[in-house]
């Protein structure tokens, strides 16, 4: 797109969100090197090179791609900021080649291209001496290295991805030699940075990250000194990829990727590097500024509940204002449990401080945040001994500010072990907590104040799940025939819980509104729904986009909607039951919808729909904002900023009639090569949880909308993401992989949770009662509904029992019906199995399903079922196929009729009606709080609008994890 067009489009975008995106982007960029203080750039002329200069990557690909009307490249951003770019010839030539490549490459499907944002990659071409000479009117050169990553594919430790290519390195050598000052901008996630030290004349290294649609402008803000960088890394950047503790087992490094043993246990990121004395290239929490700061700890206090650190931060520089992040790490004593060297316990970011100015931060966190999870006790425990509090501005630049001496060990929270390891390995252990040879550390400890903490004063909370997992209640309308159809003992033999029954008064033709008004109970409301209705309700849908559409007709919807979101809850029961449907929209970095072009491409692929006329508003008018990706937002370490971005995002969702944002992604960066790390925040769970909570509180501050935190849990690679098994110890789960979710659930009460595609310790996450019910609801108090990730291969019946309430993006409802009722196969009159077609996606590609129901045809099956074919009818071709496959046998009866006997395995019903009712109730309770609820009732019936409140404010409790006061 030409620059003039870009500017035109930018001006069309109304509202403050692009500015918020730009501000957030600049706040999360991290300055890694700044030799000779070449940054900020003072000269007005710049030579700009590298593929990322023009084809700047705004975010990742896949569902996390954001739909946006424009993207500001680095080149454009520098021009906008008033720089003269001396390498225009090279840039324009690059851009032309890049565009041509995109046009000519027809190998990318419309879905990948338009929805997932996948482009054909063009490796950086070699620079020539001439390119350098032509641009030599500038004394400063910038080289932008970019990398794309996304859903469905992990990154690789190869040149062109984790490593620079030889051409890139040579190009850097040329610019380092050809210009007085040379700056490398990383438009990437973690990469190998050895090149920076190998090429000596390079001066600065700036992590731009994937900065959203305003990325180029934000980068210019930082390069020019308009904004002083204050971002800090949320991951350890290792010297070598092999230094990462998960690298031996990540992806296919230890097999086919289907079984991954998290052998490093709790030693993820800096917990590993610090404990096992591995020097990183750039440590967790690191980030430079244009100015200097001094952090002075004024006081540390501890009581039975909280630790408080008061630290004064002073800008000791003379030229630039800036912000600093105070980071507090706690080192727990080694007792029965192995301990990491330190863990992040609290942090706070100052306001912008002018040179010479200071600000005092009071950072408070609960004592219990220093506890470790003991599998032996099934509890979080503070072991007796000395706890060191380290305060500084990165994980490796701290001073011991206090020693808290705990007299005896104390359980802070009693739980039950829930997710036992299924593989035979023991977690890594045996690191050294304090290096006694480090004289400076020993001296700091000796000089630090000693604070006494009495174990007896600390409370033990009993938070073990109190949910009764041994029974499920089925609600029956008085006079219901359900019990007479149900034969106890036989067809439900393989359930390990009992079905209780409760009768409720009938409420025919009731609407969800009647529940709100208290005329009927929710139990009554679901008791009068038949199984088919319930199963339809708890299946979401993909491709419905308009709240008011009664029929689930994708083409009708396509005509009416602006664009397609990733999914919705169903619209089938708007009229009959007054149940609103809600749109669910990706993703972490901005509204992600299907564009007109994609839908047209889909429709045109199918002869039946090729001529469909679809009218849409111009998407370029839509004004969606591509915010910076999750990891950049987290790199701000700015909790207030997270809330602001959450609010801005939420407003856009409401404006676009969406209810649920499928974000934030709270998975942990176990390894830098996970393809979706850009969507997630950090290797550290506390930072993840706090930043996630603040975003959610912001987003959910708008009435009637919410988020879906995802992917719950231990979804740490894209290789074999569907059904792959993550084997993780309970301790590592509790301390690392669940912790961010736990903080966010407890402190921000997200409207929904999305389970992941993978298994944990052999059990599908969506089918895990322990995860979805005991931990999420029983221990953490989650109140919303749980949905599967899209088209998961899980057992949907089991999902219902486990507490995964909604199957996204909608599956064959018979899976749930069969799980409750064990239906027999349905045959055609010719003895062959009957078929039906599932609803299709945008009118194309509905799946044909054979109605075998609870019978799985198999040649070696132990059960049989039969179809009778009347004498005047021939058995069909499909029957013959089954005979050939030795699954069916045909016998001619005396009266000329034929009996077709199929062999196979019959699966008895294995869940109860109550399981599905429970899921429906969880969903309906949330729908009642959605803003769409008022759309479905007609004012002429005398209905008074339902009062819709912000979902989060009902629950807010972040104070239990972190409190920061500024003075």
Measured N-to-C along each axis, helices 639-655 and 17-28 cross at an angle, to the nearest 10 degrees, of 150
Closest CA to 379 of 917, 779, 951: 779
Residue placing its CB nearer to ligand BGC in the complex, 647 or 676 = 676
Closest CA to 287 of 595, 27, 567, 565: 27
Measured N-to-C along each axis, helices 639-655 and 685-699 cross at an angle, to the nearest 10 degrees, of 40
Residues 6+ apart with CB under 8 A from 464: 378, 414, 415, 416, 778, 779
Closest CA to 29 of 628, 676, 519, 865: 628
Query: How far is Cα 276 from Cα 429, in angstroms, rounded to an integer?
Result: 10
Residue placing its CB nearer to ligand BGC in the complex, 145 or 807 = 807
Tokens, residue 554: 């994708």
Report, in Å, the least distance between residue 787 CB and ligand BGC: 9
What Å distances lie between residue 227 and 30, 218, 323, 920, CA to CA? Answer: 12, 9, 10, 49
Query: How far is Cα 694 from Cα 670, in angstroms, rounded to an integer?
Result: 22
Report, in Å, the least distance between residue 756 CB and ligand BGC: 8
Query: How far is Cα 298 from Cα 305, in angstroms, rounded to an integer?
Result: 20
Q: Which residue, chain included where needed, has tokens 């109190």?
A: 466
Strands (E), 848-918: 848-850, 855-857, 863-869, 888-892, 898-906
Report, in Å, the least distance between residue 333 CB and ligand BGC: 40
Query: How far is Cα 578 from Cα 350, in angstroms, rounded to an integer?
Result: 49
DSSP secondary-structure letter at 370?
G
Residue placing its CB nearer to ligand BGC in the complex, 328 or 662 = 662
Query: How far is Cα 59 from Cα 633, in angstroms, rounded to an integer?
Result: 12
Report, in Å, the least distance between residue 754 CB and ligand BGC: 6
Residue placing its CB nearer to ligand BGC in the complex, 672 or 675 = 675
Cα Rg of the chain (Å, integer): 30
Residue placing its CB nearer to ligand BGC in the complex, 630 or 685 = 630
Tell me how far apart the 2 most distant CA atoms of the chain are, in Å.
105
Triad 191, 197, 202: Cα angle to 5°:
95
Query: How far is Cα 475 from Cα 527, in angstroms, rounded to an integer?
Result: 5
Residue placing its CB nearer to ligand BGC in the complex, 285 or 630 = 630
Residue placing its CB nearer to ligand BGC in the complex, 662 or 813 = 662
| Backbone dihedral angles phi then psi of residue 46, each to the nearest 5 degrees | -135, 140
Report, in Å, the least distance between residue 915 CB and ligand BGC: 24
Residue 474 CA, chain-centre distance (Å), reads 34
Residue placing its CB nearer to ligand BGC in the complex, 592 or 731 = 592
Report, in Å, the least distance between residue 702 CB and ligand BGC: 20
Q: Where are the alpha helices (DSSP H) in 453-595?
A: 482-485, 512-516, 522-527, 531-537, 554-560, 574-577
Query: How far is Cα 548 from Cα 544, in angstroms, rounded to an integer?
Result: 10
Residue placing its CB nearer to ligand BGC in the complex, 349 or 721 = 721
Residue placing its CB nearer to ligand BGC in the complex, 151 or 441 = 151
Report, in Å, the least distance between residue 600 CB and ligand BGC: 20
Q: Is-catalytic flag, 407?
A: no
Around Cβ 163, how many Cβ atoms within 10 Å?
17
Tokens, residue 577: 């039951």
DSSP secondary-structure letter at 704?
T
Classified as helix, coil or strand, 398 is strand
Q: How many helices (H) and strands (E) does the chain have?
A: 28, 39
Report, in Å, the least distance between residue 761 CB and ligand BGC: 21
Closest CA to 718 of 62, 251, 111, 147: 251
Query: How far is Cα 97 from Cα 702, in angstroms, rounded to an integer?
Result: 45
Closest CA to 335 of 266, 412, 407, 271: 407
Report, in Å, the least distance between residue 113 CB and ligand BGC: 16
Strands (E), 188-287: 204-207, 237-238, 259-261, 280-282
Query: How far is Cα 929 from Cα 952, in angstroms, rounded to an integer?
Result: 11
Query: How far is Cα 187 from Cα 144, in angstroms, rounded to an integer?
Result: 7
Report, in Å, the least distance between residue 741 CB and ligand BGC: 15
761: left (phi over 0), alpha (psi -120 to 50) or beta: left
Residue placing its CB nearer to ligand BGC in the complex, 417 or 566 = 566
Around Cβ 422, how many Cβ atoms within 10 Å?
15
Catalytic residue among 154, 203, 789, 799: 789
Report, in Å, the least distance between residue 808 CB and ligand BGC: 7
Residue placing its CB nearer to ligand BGC in the complex, 153 or 495 = 153
Residue placing its CB nearer to ligand BGC in the complex, 142 or 662 = 662
Residues interacting with ligand BGC, by CB under 6 A? 63, 151, 566, 586-587, 662, 710, 789-790
Residue 921 CA, chain-centre distance (Å), reads 25
Q: Catalytic amino acids?
A: 789
């Amino acid at each position: 797109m030409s620059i003039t067009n870009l500017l035109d489009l930018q001006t069309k975008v109304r509202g403050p969100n692009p500015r918020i995106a730009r501000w957030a982007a600049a706040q999360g960029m991290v300055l890694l090197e700044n030799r000779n203080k070449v940054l900020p750039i003072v000269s007005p002329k710049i030579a700009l090179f590298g593929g990322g200069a023009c084809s700047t990557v705004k975010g990742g690909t896949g569902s996390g791609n954001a739909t946006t009307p424009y993207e500001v490249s680095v080149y454009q951003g520098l021009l906008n900021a008033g720089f003269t770019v001396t390498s225009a010839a090279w840039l324009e030539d690059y851009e032309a080649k890049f565009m041509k490549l995109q046009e000519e490459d027809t190998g990318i499907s419309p879905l990948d291209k338009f929805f997932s944002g996948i482009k054909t990659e063009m490796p950086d071409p070699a620079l020539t001496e001439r390119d350098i000479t032509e641009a030599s009117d500038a004394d400063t050169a910038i080289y932008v290295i970019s990398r794309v990553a996304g859903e469905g594919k992990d990154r690789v430790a190869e040149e062109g991805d984790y490593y620079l290519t030889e051409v890139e390195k040579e190009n850097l050598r040329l610019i380092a030699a050809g210009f007085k000052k040379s700056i490398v901008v990383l438009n990437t996630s973690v990469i190998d940075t050895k090149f920076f030290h190998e090429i000596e004349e390079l001066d600065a290294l700036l992590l731009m990250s994937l900065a959203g649609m305003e990325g180029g402008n934000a980068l210019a803000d930082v390069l020019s000194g308009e904004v002083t960088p204050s971002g800090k890394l949320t991951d350890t950047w290792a010297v070598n990829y092999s230094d990462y503790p998960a690298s031996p087992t990540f992806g296919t490094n230890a097999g086919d990727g289907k079984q991954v043993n998290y052998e490093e246990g709790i030693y993820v990121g800096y917990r590993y590097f610090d404990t096992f004395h591995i020097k990183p290239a750039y440590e967790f929490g690191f980030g430079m500024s244009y100015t200097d700061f001094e952090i002075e700890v004024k006081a540390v206090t501890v009581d039975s509940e909280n630790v408080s650190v008061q630290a004064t931060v002073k800008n000791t520089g003379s030229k630039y204002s800036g912000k600093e992040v105070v980071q507090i790490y706690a080192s727990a004593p080694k007792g029965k449990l192995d301990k990491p060297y330190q863990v992040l316990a609290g942090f706070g970011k100052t306001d912008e401080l002018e040179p010479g100015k200071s600000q005092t931060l009071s950072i408070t966190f609960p004592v219990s945040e220093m506890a470790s999870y003991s599998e032996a006790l099934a509890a979080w425990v503070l072991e007796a001994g000395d706890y060191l509090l380290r305060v500084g501005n990165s994980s490796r630049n701290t001073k011991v500010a206090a020693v808290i001496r705990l007299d005896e060990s104390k359980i802070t929270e009693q739980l039950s072990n829930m997710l036992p390891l299924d593989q035979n390995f023991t977690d890594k252990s045996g690191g050294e907590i304090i290096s006694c040879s480090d004289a400076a550390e020993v001296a700091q400890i000796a000089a630090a104040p000693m604070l006494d903490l009495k174990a007896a004063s600390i409370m033990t909370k009993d938070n073990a799940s109190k949910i009764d997992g041994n029974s499920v209640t089925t609600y029956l309308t008085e006079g219901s025939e359900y019990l007479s159809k149900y034969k106890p003992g036989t067809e439900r033999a393989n359930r390990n819980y009992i079905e209780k029954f409760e009768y409720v008064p009938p409420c025919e033709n009731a609407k969800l509104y009647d529940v709100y008004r208290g005329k009927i109970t929710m139990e009554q409301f679901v008791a009068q729904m038949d199984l088919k209705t319930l199963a339809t309700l708890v299946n979401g849908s993909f491709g419905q986009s308009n709240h008011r559409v009664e029929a689930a007709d994708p083409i009708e919807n396509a005509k009416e909607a602006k664009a397609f979101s990733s999914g919705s809850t169903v619209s089938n029961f708007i009229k009959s039951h007054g149940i609103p449907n809600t749109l669910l929209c990706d993703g972490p970095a901005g509204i992600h919808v299907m564009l007109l072009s994609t839908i047209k491409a889909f429709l045109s692929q199918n002869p039946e729909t090729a001529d469909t006329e679809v009218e849409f508003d111009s998407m370029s008018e839509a004004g969606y904002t591509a915010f910076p990706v999750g990891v950049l937002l987290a790199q701000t370490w700015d909790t207030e900023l997270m809330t602001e971005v959450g609010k801005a995002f939420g407003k856009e969702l409401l404006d676009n009639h969406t209810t649920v944002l499928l974000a934030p992604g709270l998975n942990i960066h176990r390894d830098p090569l996970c393809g979706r790390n850009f969507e997630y925040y950090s290797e550290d769970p506390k930072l993840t949880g706090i930043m996630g909570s603040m975003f959610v509180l912001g987003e959910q501050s708008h009435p009637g909308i919410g988020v879906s935190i995802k992917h719950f849990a231990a979804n740490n690679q894209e290789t074999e993401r569907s059904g792959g098994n993550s084997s993780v110890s309970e301790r590592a789960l509790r301390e690392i992989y669940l912790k961010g979710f736990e903080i966010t659930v407890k402190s921000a009460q997200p409207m929904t949770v999305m389970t992941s595609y993978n298994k944990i310790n052999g059990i599908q996450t969506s089918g895990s009662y322990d995860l979805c019910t005991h931990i999420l609801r029983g221990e953490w108090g989650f109140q919303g509904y749980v949905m599967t990730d899209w088209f998961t291969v899980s057992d949907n019946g089991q999902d219902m029992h486990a507490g995964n309430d909604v199957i996204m993006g909608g599956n064959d409802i018979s899976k749930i019906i069969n799980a409750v009722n064990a239906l027999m196969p349905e045959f055609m009159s010719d003895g062959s199995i009957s078929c039906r077609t599932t609803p299709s996606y945008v009118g194309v590609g509905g799946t044909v399903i054979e109605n075998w129901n609870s019978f799985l045809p198999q040649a070696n099956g132990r059960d049989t079922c039969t179809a009778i074919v009347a004498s005047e009818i021939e058995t069909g071709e499909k029957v013959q196929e089954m005979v050939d496959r030795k699954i069916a046998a045909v016998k001619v009866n005396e009266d000329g009729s034929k009996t077709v006997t199929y062999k196979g395995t019959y699966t008895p019903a294995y869940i109860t009606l109550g399981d599905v009712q429970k899921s429906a109730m969880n969903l309906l309770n949330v729908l009642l709080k959605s803003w769409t609820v008022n759309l479905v009732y007609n004012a002429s019936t005398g209905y008074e609008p339902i009062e819709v409140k912000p979902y989060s404010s009902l629950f807010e409790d972040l104070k239990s994890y972190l409190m920061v006061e500024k003075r």
